[in-house]
């Protein structure tokens, strides 16, 4: 793929090593004569202490691992660019947000709880970290795909993470929240109610990293040239829409392809299907800080788009895969404390705590304070200061002055104020108050927005939330925990609580559990506090259901279920129609290698019923031909289409293949397209655009 040489790419390319046509060397560049045999006394004799070449190799190998991230260990990264498309210069002086400016970015998506090698399809929040290499230094927007957080104060962060991670005695379960310690914690923290509904919704099992929203979560501040503050919430809106898999699918994908999301992102970029997101902002004038029924500093709250619309200010395109996973994705150090002029923190107590944690963790994980010098972390505008030495220092500072002020070095590097240049200036803010460890009662309404989210979902999405809570709480062994969580759900929505209760054989209690109340009163002595009337009770933007007439099938994978003797004409007709819409047909047959067509000629097969699973595809097409008789006898084929049906995906059958539907549990139904009944290709594409045919899910489950 042709590479675009932006300054970040150049900075990385300068460090890329290509071994092609090179002789192997030691780490000191000494050519290695024999890389197979250690040095021995006689060819059957003991190894010699003087084998420096062997030690050089083993010493490096023994130290190849670094600590994985304590959270968000599992991640996938990509390079790209961000282009600012709107004039917001009256709101922020941030240079990279000036209309028309193009800034290199590196993005890392992650799950939170699982270890580095865990499955991509865990039910979990996804991290959405973006490093902007701006001309005024690096800016990191370190967000998630869910706009709220479990806790309100950073003091509880290690606790929530300990609760969700595998339990400390037996280190189980991996990459899963469905266990006692997590729900014990959540059921004692009513502030987690809102986020827990998001995590139990389809948002936590995205179809693709390319099909999820991103959020800065906290309220931040924009500062303009005159020093005026505007509060801001950041949103990433995916051009491919927001979509999920079903939970049953997620569990199966984890077995078939634990790298499902990583592969999908990698392949899309290699194929030139560059994923894109628009960056949106919600702007709140400083004077309106206290205007809402909730506190904008509370990270368990969203600002509904109906109250403050999202304005699009730029577009991000991911167009280049990393050369090397470790050097780039693993060593990328993100830090929400890394701001550029024009952007500032708010007083959100969760955000304030993050300002310490990331710097500290990078120092530990990347082995000392010079991690900024790794190619992936270097600012492209250069770094100039008097910091020096430390493990693995790479920059070679010229001259004999490394202090300020100095006269010997001409007073350099000088600070921006000395020459009237732009430097980072914190927005002015009057601060008053006693030193206290307390929480504002404006943070005490834990259920109104949880309800807003649940009420904004379609009935099918609500059903998924109910099923997810039922699954997770069924896995909890301690019944007291189940009851406590049910009591919380009952504060959010009666239907939610009673439906989950039915599945657990429990009747939800009317009020919160005394233990939950006791903990809540440690933060708010008068808890529960009468909530303010919310401005909106439903927000359309929160549902992921595709609206009629919307939706795209760009980059969707369609399984063409074939075998030798399939009709080329029947394959090509559908292939052409799908490719025109940007979808990706994939031929699946009983073995890899050559597939012969009915009309003569061959195709190369890469995917088989053996290696691939129905859950990895978005839709299914069975063309006609002599293949039909073979498929009728192939249980793996029948499993493919049954499962596709169960997961509410569109299925199309060419005229001569329609009888195959009867071999499975599939009948004439929504999203099941028979060529004899209409326009095969157009109907198929229309159904695929909906992403799923949810109406089929409610009462037409089939075994698979």
Residue 109 and residue 65 in contact, taking contact as beta carbons nearer than 8 Å: no
Q: Give the nearer residue to ligand HDD in terms of CB position, either 247 or 334.
A: 334
- Residues in CB range of 345: below 8 A, 6 or more apart: 218, 220, 221, 337, 339, 351, 352, 355
Q: Please tell me what DSSP assigns to residue 670.
A: T
**32 touches ligand HDD (CB under 6 A):** no
Nearest residue to 276 via CA among 577, 74, 6, 552: 552
Q: Which of 8, 9, 72, 164 binds ligand HDD (CB under 6 A)?
A: 72
Residues 51-70 close enough to bind ligand HDD by CB under 6 A: 69-70
- Please report how the helices 479-492 and 448-456 are oriented relative to each other, as an axis angle in degrees rounded to 10: 80
Tokens of 60: 């490096």
The question of whether 72 is a catalytic residue gets the answer yes
- Residues in CB range of 300: below 8 A, 6 or more apart: 148, 149, 150, 151, 152, 191, 192, 194, 195, 443, 446, 449
**243 touches ligand HDD (CB under 6 A):** no
As measured in angstroms, the least distance from the Cβ of 358 to ligand HDD is: 4
β-sheet bridge partners, residue 84 = 314
Q: Give the nearer residue to ligand HDD in terms of CB position, either 332 or 500.
A: 332
**299 touches ligand HDD (CB under 6 A):** yes
As measured in angstroms, the least distance from the Cβ of 356 to ligand HDD is: 7
108 is in an annotated binding site: yes
Residues 80-99 close enough to bind ligand HDD by CB under 6 A: none
Binding mask 122-161 for ligand HDD (x = CB under 6 A): -----x-x------------xxx----x----x--x----
The question of whether 15 is a catalytic residue gets the answer no
Which of 6, 95, 138, 144 is flagged as catalytic? 144
Q: Give the nearer residue to ligand HDD in terms of CB position, either 142 or 245.
A: 142
**371 touches ligand HDD (CB under 6 A):** no
Q: Give the nearer residue to ligand HDD in terms of CB position, either 354 or 646.
A: 354
Q: Which of 174, 293, 324, 357 binds ligand HDD (CB under 6 A)?
A: 357
Q: Please tell me what DSSP assigns to residue 628.
A: H
256 is in an annotated binding site: no
- Residues in CB range of 55: below 8 A, 6 or more apart: none
**115 touches ligand HDD (CB under 6 A):** no
Q: Give the nearer residue to ligand HDD in terms of CB position, either 353 or 534.
A: 353
Residue nearest to ligand HDD (CB): 127
As measured in angstroms, the least distance from the Cβ of 243 to ligand HDD is: 20
Cα–Cα distances (Å) from 519 to 163, 164, 181, 441, 560, in that order, read: 16, 19, 16, 15, 56
Strands 672-674 and 650-653: parallel
**104 touches ligand HDD (CB under 6 A):** no
Q: How far is CA 30 from the centre of its chain?
A: 43
Nearest residue to 251 via CA among 472, 478, 520, 522: 472
Distance CA 68, CA 50 (A): 34
Q: How far is CA 233 from the centre of its chain?
A: 18
Residues 625-654 close enough to bind ligand HDD by CB under 6 A: none
Binding site for ligand HDD (CB under 6 A): 69-72, 75, 108, 110, 127, 129, 142-144, 149, 154, 157, 217-218, 299, 332, 334, 350, 353-354, 357-358, 361-362
> Which amino acids are annotated as binding site for heme, given as ranges?
69, 108, 157, 354, 358, 365
- Catalytically active residues are 72, 144
> Which amino acids are annotated as binding site, given as ranges?
69, 108, 157, 354, 358, 365
């Amino acid at each position: 793929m042709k590479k675009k040489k932006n300054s970040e790419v150049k900075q990385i390319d300068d460090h890329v090593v290509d071994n092609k046509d090179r002789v192997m060397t030691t780490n000191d560049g000494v050519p290695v004569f024999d890389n197979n045999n250690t040095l021995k006394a006689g060819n059957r004799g003991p190894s010699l202490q003087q084998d420096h070449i062997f030690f050089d190799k083993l010493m490096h190998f023994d130290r190849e691992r670094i600590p994985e991230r304590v959270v968000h260990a599992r991640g996938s990264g990509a390079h790209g660019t961000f282009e600012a498309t709107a004039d917001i210069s009256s709101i922020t002086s941030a240079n990279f947000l000036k209309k028309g400016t193009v800034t290199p970015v590196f993005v890392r998506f992650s799950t939170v709880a699982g270890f580095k090698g865990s499955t991509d399809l865990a039910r979990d929040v996804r991290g959405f970290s973006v490093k902007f290499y701006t001309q005024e230094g690096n800016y990191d927007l370190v967000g998630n795909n869910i706009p709220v957080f479990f806790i309100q104060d950073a003091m509880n962060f290690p606790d929530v993470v300990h609760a969700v991670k595998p339990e400390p005695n037996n280190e189980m379960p991996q990459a899963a929240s469905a266990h006692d310690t997590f729900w014990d914690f959540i059921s004692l923290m009513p502030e987690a109610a809102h986020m827990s509904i998001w995590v139990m919704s389809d948002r936590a099992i995205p179809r693709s990293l390319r099909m999820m929203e991103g959020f800065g979560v906290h309220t931040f501040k924009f500062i303009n040239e005159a020093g005026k503050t505007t509060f801001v919430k950041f949103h990433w809106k995916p051009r491919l829409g927001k979509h999920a898999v079903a939970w049953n699918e997620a569990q199966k994908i984890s077995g078939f392809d634990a790298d499902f999301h990583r592969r999908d992102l990698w392949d899309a970029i290699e194929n030139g299907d560059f994923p894109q997101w628009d960056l949106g902002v919600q702007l709140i004038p400083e004077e309106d800080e206290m205007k809402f029924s909730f506190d904008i500093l509370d990270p368990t709250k969203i600002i509904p788009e109906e109250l403050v619309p999202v304005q699009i200010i730029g577009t991000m395109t991911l167009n280049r895969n990393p050369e090397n996973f470790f050097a780039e994705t693993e060593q990328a150090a993100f830090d929400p404390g890394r701001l550029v002029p024009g952007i500032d923190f708010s007083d959100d107590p969760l955000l304030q705590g993050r300002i310490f944690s990331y710097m500290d963790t990078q120092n530990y994980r990347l082995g000392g304070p010079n991690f900024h010098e790794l190619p992936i972390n270097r600012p492209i505008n250069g770094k100039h200061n008097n910091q020096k030495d430390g493990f693995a220092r790479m920059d070679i500072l010229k001259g004999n002055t490394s202090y300020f002020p100095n006269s010997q070095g001409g007073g350099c590097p000088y600070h921006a104020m000395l020459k009237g240049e732009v430097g980072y200036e914190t927005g002015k803010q009057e601060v008053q108050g006693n030193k206290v460890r307390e929480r504002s009662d404006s943070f005490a309404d834990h259920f109104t927005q949880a309800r807003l989210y649940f009420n904004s979902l379609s009935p099918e999405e609500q059903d998924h939330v109910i099923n997810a809570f039922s699954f997770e709480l069924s896995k909890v062994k301690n019944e007291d925990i189940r009851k406590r969580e049910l009591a919380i759900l009952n504060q959010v929505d009666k239907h939610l609580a009673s439906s989950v209760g039915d599945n657990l054989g429990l009747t939800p209690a009317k009020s919160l559990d005394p233990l939950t109340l006791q903990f809540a009163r440690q933060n708010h002595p008068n808890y529960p506090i009468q909530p303010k009337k919310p401005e909106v009770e439903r927000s359309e933007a929160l549902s992921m259901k595709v609206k009629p007439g919307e939706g795209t099938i760009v980059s969707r994978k369609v399984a063409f279920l074939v075998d030798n003797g399939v009709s080329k004409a029947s394959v090509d007709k559908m292939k052409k129609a799908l490719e025109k819409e940007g979808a990706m047909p994939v031929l699946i047959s009983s073995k890899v290698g050559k597939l012969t067509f009915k009309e003569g000629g061959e195709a190369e097969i890469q995917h088989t019923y053996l290696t691939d699973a129905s859950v990895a595809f978005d839709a299914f097409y069975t063309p006609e031909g002599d293949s039909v008789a073979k498929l009728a006898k192939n249980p793996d084929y029948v499993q493919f289409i049954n499962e596709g049906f169960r997961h509410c995906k569109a299925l199309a059958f060419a005229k001569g293949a329609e009888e195959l539907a009867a071999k499975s549990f599939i009948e004439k139904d929504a999203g099941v397209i028979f060529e004899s009944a209409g326009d095969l290709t157009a109907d198929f594409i229309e159904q695929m655009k909906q992403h799923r045919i949810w109406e089929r899910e409610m009462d037409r489950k089939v075994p698979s």
